[in-house]
Amino acid sequence: MFTFWIALAFIAGAFMPLQSGVNSTLALQSSGAIWASLISFVVGSIALLAVVIVARQQWPEVSSLKAAPWWAWTGGFMGALFVATSAFLAPRLGASTMIALFVAGQLVMSLILDHIGWATFPEHPINLWRVIGALMLFGGVLLVRFN
């Protein structure tokens, strides 16, 4: 089962530059990245609603939703920021530079989240090997950008 999760993460990651290009193309036809992002979220929301209905997922209890911390509601904002930013940056930076920078930002935040064990992540302290890995990734960003 672990192999399935690895493959799923790889495939989802592979869709990130594709999604950026698709949304950037839509931005050219819809008056900009903000409209393209809104359209993308509406289509995605409809798709998720269809999955919930087909999978017969139980609706969440209102009391459980109210019990969530305030910051648990910010994921949609972060997703909107990512989608709009990627639609805007894709034609300006190119897929490889944009994604390399996204991955570098993701790794830095991941190191911080793992170190403090916040937002359901298990605690994994920052150590020399993790710092070296992050520095190597930043080296990769430079190689991709300035080839």
| Tens-level pLDDT at each residue, the chain (147 residues) | 889 999 998 999 899 999 999 999 999 999 899 999 999 999 999 999 999 999 999 999 999 999 999 999 999 999 999 999 999 999 999 998 899 889 989 999 999 999 999 999 999 999 999 999 999 988 988 888 887
pLDDT of residue 50: 97
For residue 37, give the amino acid letter.
Answer: S
Residue 145: what pLDDT?
Answer: 83
pLDDT computed for residue 123 by the predictor:
95
Q: Which of 104, 38, 74 is nearest to 96 (CA)?
A: 104
Q: What is the pLDDT of residue 78?
A: 93
98, 89 contact by CB (below 8 A): yes
Give the torsion through C-alpha atoms of 46, 48, 53, 54, to 10 deg: 110
This prediction has a pTM of 0.82
Identify whether the C-beta of residue 33 lies closer than 8 Å to the C-beta of residue 84: yes
Angle at 37 between CA 36 and CA 42, to 5 degrees: 100
pLDDT at residue 122, as a whole number = 93
